[in-house]
Structure 1
Amino acid sequence: MARSGFMRTGWLSLITAAMLAVTGCGSTDNQAGTAAATDQSAQQTTTASSEAPPQKETRIVTDGFGEVEIPTNPKRVSALYREDYLVALGVTPIVQYYNPMWGKQDYLKLEVPLFDVTGSVEAMVVADPDLIIGAGEVDAEQYALYSKVAPTFRLPDDVLADTRRTLTVIADLLGLSDKAEQVLADYEARIVDVKAKLNAAIGDEKLVVLRMNVVDKSVNIFGIHNTFVGQILYEDLGLKAPGFAEAMTEGNIVLSKEVIPELDADHIILLPSNGTWEDEGNAKALEEMMADPLWQTVPAFKNGHVYPVERSYWQTGAITANGLKMDDLLRLLAS
Structure 2
Amino acid sequence: MLAKTNKATALVLAILMIGVLAACGGKSNSEGSSSPSASATASPATASASASSEPSQETQGSAETRIVKDEFGDVEIPAHPQRVVGVYVEDYLKALGVTPVAQWYHPLWGKQDYLNLDVPLFDTTGSIEALVSYNPDLIIVDGGVDKEKYDVYSKVAPTYRLTEDVLQSSAEMLRAVADVLNIPDKAEEVIADYESKVADGKAKLQASVGKEKVAFIRVNVGEKTLALFGVKNRYTGVIYSEFGLEPIQMAKDMTEYQSILSEEVIPELGADHIIFIPSNGSWDTPEYQEDFKLLDSPLWQSVPAVQKGNIYKFERSHWQSGAITANGMKLDDLLGAMAK
Same fold (TM over 0.5): yes
CA contact 2:217–2:226 (8 Å) conserved in 1: yes
Query: Where does residue 74 of structure 1 map in the other structure?
Result: 81
Query: Where does residue 60 of structure 1 map in the other structure?
Result: 67
Secondary structure class of the residue paired with 2:206: helix
Query: Where does residue 34 of structure 2 map in the other structure?
Result: 45
Deviation (angstroms), 1:84: 0.9
Deviation (angstroms), 1:294: 2.1
Give the direction of change, closer, same or farther, for the CA distance of 1:28–1:334 in structure 2 (3 Å limit): same
Query: Where does residue 324 of structure 1 map in the other structure?
Result: 329
1:18-33 aligned at under 5 Å gives the runs 29=17, 32-33=20-21
Deviation (angstroms), 1:82: 1.4
2:270 partner amino acid: D
Query: Where does residue 296 of structure 1 map in the other structure?
Result: 301
Query: Where does residue 254 of structure 1 map in the other structure?
Result: 260
Give the direction of change, closer, same or farther, for the CA distance of 1:258–1:62 in structure 2 (3 Å limit): farther
2:268 partner amino acid: E
* Displaced runs of 4 or more, over 3 A: 26-43, 46-55
**Which residue of 131, 137, 145 maps to 1:138?**
145
Query: Where does residue 7 of structure 2 map in the other structure?
Result: none
Distance 2:114 2:63 in 1: 34
Distance 2:120 2:153 in 1: 17
CA contact 2:231–2:251 (8 Å) conserved in 1: yes
Deviation (angstroms), 1:41: 5.9
Distance 2:267 2:143 in 1: 34
Tell whether 2:217 aligns with 1:210. Answer: yes
1:81-96 aligned at under 5 Å gives the runs 81-96=88-103
Tell whether 2:167 aligns with 1:160. Answer: yes
2:257 partner amino acid: G
User: In the TM superposition, what whole-angstrom CA distance separates every residue of 1:154-178 from its partner, at most 9, and x where no partner exists?
Assistant: 1122211101000111111112211
CA contact 2:214–2:274 (8 Å) conserved in 1: yes
Give the direction of change, closer, same or farther, for the CA distance of 1:192–1:38 in structure 2 (3 Å limit): same
Distance 2:256 2:327 in 1: 21
Give structure 1 stretches of 5+ with no counterpart. 1-25
Query: Where does residue 280 of structure 2 map in the other structure?
Result: 274
Deviation (angstroms), 1:45: 2.2
Deviation (angstroms), 1:193: 0.6
Distance 1:71 1:135 in 2: 19
1:263 partner amino acid: L
User: In the TM superposition, what whole-angstrom CA distance separates every residue of 1:135-189 from its partner, at most 9, and x where no partner exists?
Assistant: 1221222111110011111112221110100011111111221111111111111
Distance 1:73 1:253 in 2: 43
Question: By percentage of residues, which structure has more helix?
Answer: 2
TM-score, with structure 2 as normaliser:
0.84
Query: Where does residue 134 of structure 2 map in the other structure?
Result: 127
Secondary structure class of the residue paired with 2:76: strand
Give structure 2 stretches of 5+ with no counterpart. 1-13, 40-49
Distance 1:140 1:240 in 2: 38
Deviation (angstroms), 1:37: 4.7
CA contact 2:243–2:331 (8 Å) conserved in 1: no
Deviation (angstroms), 1:31: 8.3
**Which residue of 316, 319, 327 maps to 1:311?**
316
Q: Higher mean Cα deviation, 299-308 or 184-193? A: 299-308
Distance 2:213 2:232 in 1: 16
Give the direction of change, closer, same or farther, for the CA distance of 1:174–1:290 in structure 2 (3 Å limit): same
Distance 1:153 1:297 in 2: 50
Q: Once the two structures are aligned, what percentage of the paired residues are identical?
A: 51
Distance 2:245 2:179 in 1: 31
Query: Where does residue 245 of structure 1 map in the other structure?
Result: 251
Secondary structure class of the residue paired with 1:294: helix
CA contact 2:215–2:251 (8 Å) conserved in 1: yes
After superposition, the CA RMSD in angstroms is: 2.5
Secondary structure class of the residue paired with 2:189: helix
Query: Where does residue 115 of structure 1 map in the other structure?
Result: 122
Deviation (angstroms), 1:122: 2.1
Query: Where does residue 46 of structure 2 map in the other structure?
Result: none
Query: Where does residue 170 of structure 1 map in the other structure?
Result: 177
1:290 partner amino acid: L
CA contact 2:67–2:77 (8 Å) conserved in 1: yes
